[in-house]
Amino acid sequence: MAAHTDPAIAEQLTGVPAASLPAVLAAVGTPFVVEVSLWSGAAPATYPTATTVDLTAPGPGLLGTTRATIPAGASSVTIVTSYTHPSAALQITARTVNKKSVLTGATASFPIDVVLNLLDGQSGALKNGTAGADGSACTTVDAAHPMCGVLFLPNGAAGRVALSLGLCPTGQTCRDGGLVTQFLGDMSGLYTRESPARMTIVCDKSLCGGGGVPTFRALWSQAATGDLLTAPACPAKDIIGADQEFCTDTVSSKRDSAADLHLVVLFLKDVRGTIK
């Protein structure tokens, strides 16, 4: 089984480091392609009867197309589908069902990233610190929407950038109920350790209540498929240490009047982040 990135998105994200780009990248509600093939060892397989293919994915979103048929005598089918909710590393599973063959119950799965919105890298929202991963400046953070990331790129970015806010990928040690913000863009030469980019992860008190602000750390990755690692404390406000690529700015972090946590993370390259 294979899937393909939506070319309309990939063409706009020029200059993004290859390691930061997910293998499959799509936008909410827009089509991406899944190809399911039948194999016998290293050779394509065909069967005299039709084979049903079911696609499934975890919520909260829905797949646009969930079933297709590989015709009798054919070895593959191309499925055009979509997903209705932003998600990082959304796991989609294909299951083949053919009661007259050995394929009954055969499965394969793969991750895709579903982004929420695309912005011009020189947009005012990025430069003034109001670009929210939810597409609306993270104005609603509550028990039902417990986490959101706000970007501040004072020098902007080259070309277009992509933002998403989705479920924590399977196998990662995120805070229970936490979400992951992903940012993809070309920041080459625009930021330094003394003048870095910044993301503020806003976390509702229902999820991040209790504990002093300095006890919280971000979970961070600069690769599309890398593990989310603890972002260490910065050596000083607004400064990334000489031996760091990203850090949690505990001095700039705070709680607001509603007791929600605003955890500030400084970085130099594309990121996926949440709160530990």
Q: What SS3 class is residue 205? A: helix
Helix (H, G, I), strand (E, B) or coil at 172: coil
DSSP class of residue 140 equals -
Residues in the chain with pLDDT values less than 50: none
Q: Tell me the whole-structure pTM to 2 decimals.
A: 0.70
The pLDDT of residue 234 = 97
pLDDT tens column, 91-144:
788 888 776 655 555 666 666 666 657 788 899 999 999 998 887 888 889 998
Domain topology for 2-114: Immunoglobulin-like (2.60.40)
pLDDT for the residue 101? 58
- Quote the radius of gyration of the chain (alpha carbons, Å): 21
